[in-house]
């Protein structure tokens, strides 16, 4: 459930945020999470994701609207096996070894886990940026910040998985770097109650959390959306 827009964000002009200097960033729309055969199938985030109102369905709808603005698109993927193969320290070695201790897949299978799902590949364009990030922040060990600055981006339209890990980390790190992230809450996913709890925390502390419907309407309005509240 997407929380009501916190009062601290009420005076933001969302139409301006979404239509001037904005980029679309999605995290981890990949097989490990969104394919029932993925290694995280037990989380069941894939269940209903591409049905009306589901996180993937909402993200694809939002992407279609953002495409009309010719904004930059960034598709990010997390490889949980990098830390296993190339641990940076003893803590990495122990944690990743524990996570993957019963994983039966070979290297080919591990590459598949990290690959984007077909629904995303179908809407990608050759100019889209797509890359793997090795940690939990999309900005650590990647050229994402450099590309965004090169494009003149200020607003980050964020969606993806997991809400309580990579989405929250991206939001917090983006604010530290001076960007204006907006989290599209119903285009994100993780297990409950962490999904709702994390969206509430982000909305209260770091960045606005809005619905896909609100984002699309704000983009379409073409005039300031001051004082608007995000529909639940």
CATH number at residue 127: 3.40.50.850
| 227 found inside a domain | no
| 127 found inside a domain | yes
Domain encompassing residue 173:
7-82+115-221
**Using one digit for the tens of pLDDT, what is the confidence trace for 195-215?**
999 999 999 999 999 999 999
| 126 found inside a domain | yes
This model's pTM is above 0.85? yes
**Using one digit for the tens of pLDDT, what is the confidence trace for 95-109?**
999 999 999 989 999
| 107 found inside a domain | no
Q: Which residues of the chain have pLDDT under 70?
A: 222-232
| 78 found inside a domain | yes
| 226 found inside a domain | no
Distance (Å, whole) CA 58 – CA 184: 9
| 122 found inside a domain | yes
* Dihedral pair phi/psi, residue 206, rounded to 5°: -115, -40
Strands lying side by side in the sheet with 129-133: 129-133, 73-78, 22-27, 155-161, 180-189, 209-210
Question: How many structural domains compose the chain?
Answer: 1
Distance (Å, whole) CA 212 – CA 228: 14
| 230 found inside a domain | no
Which pLDDT score is estimated for 222? 55
């Amino acid at each position: 459930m997407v929380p009501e827009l916190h009062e601290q964000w009420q005076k933001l002009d969302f139409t301006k945020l979404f239509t001037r200097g904005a980029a679309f960033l999605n995290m981890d729309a990949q097989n490990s999470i969104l394919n029932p055969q993925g290694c995280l199938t037990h989380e069941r985030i894939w269940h209903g994701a591409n049905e009306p109102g589901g996180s993937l369905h909402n993200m694809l709808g939002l992407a279609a609207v953002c495409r009309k603005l010719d904004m930059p698109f960034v598709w990010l993927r997390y490889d949980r096996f990098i830390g296993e193969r190339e641990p940076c320290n003893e803590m990495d070695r122990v944690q990743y070894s524990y996570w993957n201790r019963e994983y039966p897949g070979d290297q080919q299978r591990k590459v598949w886990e990290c690959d984007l799902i077909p629904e995303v590949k179908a809407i990608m364009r050759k100019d889209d940026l797509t890359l793997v990030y090795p940690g939990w922040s999309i900005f650590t060990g990647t050229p994402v910040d450099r590309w965004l600055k090169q494009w003149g981006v200020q607003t980050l339209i964020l969606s993806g998985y997991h809400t309580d890990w990579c989405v929250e980390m991206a939001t917090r790190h983006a604010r530290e770097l001076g960007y204006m992230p907006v989290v599209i809450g119903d285009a994100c996913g993780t297990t409950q109650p962490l999904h709702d709890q994390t969206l509430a925390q982000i909305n209260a502390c770091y960045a606005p959390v809005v619905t896909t419907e609100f984002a699309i309407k704000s983009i379409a309005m073409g005039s300031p959306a001051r004082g608007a509240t995000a529909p639940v």
